[in-house]
A and B are shown apart, each in its own frame.
Chain A
């Protein structure tokens, strides 16, 4: 059983569309991170959210941390083929990190 549940597991959209992916848990985290991973590489950190209700924007990406610090969402506006990849959320608890299974996003040109 995953500590962090990510949905959807797979998402395939056309270039220019908007999308939201979710990361949910019954646990409270001190912080939550979103990573993007491409084939053959390790995950690369996109953002860290710490405060309940926090919203962070990174160009076309908007990240939100739930008020109770148990869940998070990632919204991408006007998706591009370069956004294709595996999006992972990870919750920090007791000095270590637990990852979700990820959302595999494909953006078709």
Chain B
């Protein structure tokens, strides 16, 4: 399983765009990059998943360069409610594989 590395914490002001980068140097050919969000006292929640280039949904955008050794989760115009821990994972697209979470990035949004 590809090991992922993220910053431990980030701070941002409300209304700013936040970019959280994850490195996954040994990602396998059939691994997808998946991001989860976790609020206090709740289980993690799926945000977005991608294989390469760019994926966008109503919550976030995910940028994956051609070499796929890193990815960037982009949160546009964050609000206080985006304060959470964000996890990056490499998810295999075949076989039965367990998901191993790292320690995530704690994003604090300040008014």
A, B bound: no
Binding site for A on B (CB under 8 A): none
